[in-house]
Amino acid sequence: MPARINPSILSADFVNFERDFGSIANADLIHVDVMDNNFVPNLTFGLPMVSRMQEITPRPLDVHLMISGVDKWARGYAEAGVFSVTFHAEAAENPVGIARELRSIGARAGLALKPGTDLEQYLDILHEFDQLLIMTVEPGFGGQALIEHTLGKVSQAKRKIDQEKLDIWLQVDGGIDETNIERVAKLGADTFVAGSAVFKAIDRAAQIEHLRNLANAAISHRH
Ligand code: DX5
Ligand code: ZN
């Protein structure tokens, strides 16, 4: 499976999203971080902004909800027509119910885990999801360093996916850059969120291409 690079617009210019979308036109998907200053100690934007982005985006939107109350709020993002909606297990009362609702509306459903949350308890519901997001930093801010111990969950998830032949993308988010993407790809990740590593580059499209090439080379050497 070829690697996907999803630039996170948390590192974009918040009053020039449309212009910045143009600078990442070769992204596989555009990662959109919704934060409510409750589930995480930071605030970005909500459904009205994401709906407008959906109207102008050149690439599919990969929405990452870092909000409380997802049992109520997640469906609106799917109704706006985004490609995927990922919510946090820690914020959900009924994760399977939300996943089924998202899929029935036509969005891909994603389950996200904070660094301190065990994967074990969710292994048996992974088949209800289209993507699993292992947070490799504490959610809330861009530009943090990858937390090494989170990578154990990437290997653990990859084993489960292979054993059960699950049709699910394995995504990592936080601190991914050109120094570590090959290592993380080798462990099993196939979908890489990169915020600062893309937006700090002078040529963002070239940086996306570079990250994708590094990940693809590592994936082809996995076995
Ligand atoms: C963090 C967000 C990430 C963030 C990643 O809570 O979920 O998507 O933008 O940024 P970098 O790649 O800079 O760590
Ligand atoms: Zn994110």
pLDDT, tens digit (0-9, with 9 covering 90-100), for 30-39:
999 999 999 9
Question: Number of structural domains, the chain?
Answer: 1
Ligand 1 center from residue 201 Cα (angstroms): 15
Residues with CB under 6 A from ligand 1: 8, 10-11, 31, 33, 64, 137, 139-144, 173-176, 193-197
CA 111/CA 129 separation, integer angstroms: 7
By alpha-carbon position, which residue is closest to atom 6 of ligand 1? 139
pLDDT at 1: 78
How confident is the model at residue 222, as a pLDDT? 85
- Sheet order of strands, 30-35 included: 4-7, 191-194, 169-173, 131-135, 108-113, 84-88, 61-66, 30-35
Tens digits of residue pLDDT in 187-203: 999 999 999 999 999 99
Domain range for 161 is 4-220
The mean per-residue pLDDT over the stretch 166-174 comes to 98
Alpha-carbon distance of 88 to 72, in angstroms, equals 13
Write out pLDDT tens, residues 46-98: 999 999 999 999 999 999 999 999 999 999 999 999 999 999 999 999 999 99
Where residue 223 falls among pLDDT bands split at 50, 70, 90? low
Give the Cα separation of 139 and 137 in Å (integer).
6
Please state the pTM of the whole predicted model: 0.98
CATH code of the domain in which 206 resides: 3.20.20.70
**Ligand 2 mean position, distance from CA 8 (Å):** 7
Percent of the chain past pLDDT 70, that is, above it, reads 100
